[in-house]
A = this chain, B = another copy of it.
Amino acid sequence: MVENDIFRALADPTRRLIFEKLASGGMNASALGEGIGVSQPAISQHLGVLRDARLVREERRGRFVHYEVDPDGVALIAGWLAKYRAYWPARMDALRGVLKEMDP
């Protein structure tokens, strides 16, 4: 299931760290691994999980592989969350402000 892959992918703190680092700009796998205290294969495996969850997409660039956030995965979370909009408390109108600021 799609939602299952997404939430399982985000359940791991190392994977969230990778994702959040990637959200600040696309980069290749080795650059992603810097600062995170795990081996290169671990990074590769994490990226595989994030890719299967559609949170990340890759593009070969010579011998590098460029990774970037996949908007599809983010949209899937937003879609899931929208089902529970009835429970968003009033103070979350900060989020509404954010969305308004996105308007053209």
Report which A residues bind B (CB closer than 8 A). Answer: 1, 3-4, 7-8, 10-11, 13, 16, 20, 23, 69-72, 74-75, 77-79, 81-89, 91-92, 94-96, 98-99, 102-103
Contacts and interface: CB of A to CB of B under 8 A. Distances in A.
A72 B81 CA distance: 13
A96 B86 CA distance: 14
B84 A74 contact: yes
Interface residues of A: mostly helix, strand, loop or mixed? helix
Given A23-B83, A82-B95, A96-B103, 13 more contacts: A20-B83, A71-B87, A71-B88, A74-B81, A74-B89, A75-B88, A75-B89, A75-B91, A77-B77, A78-B81, A78-B88, A78-B95, A82-B94
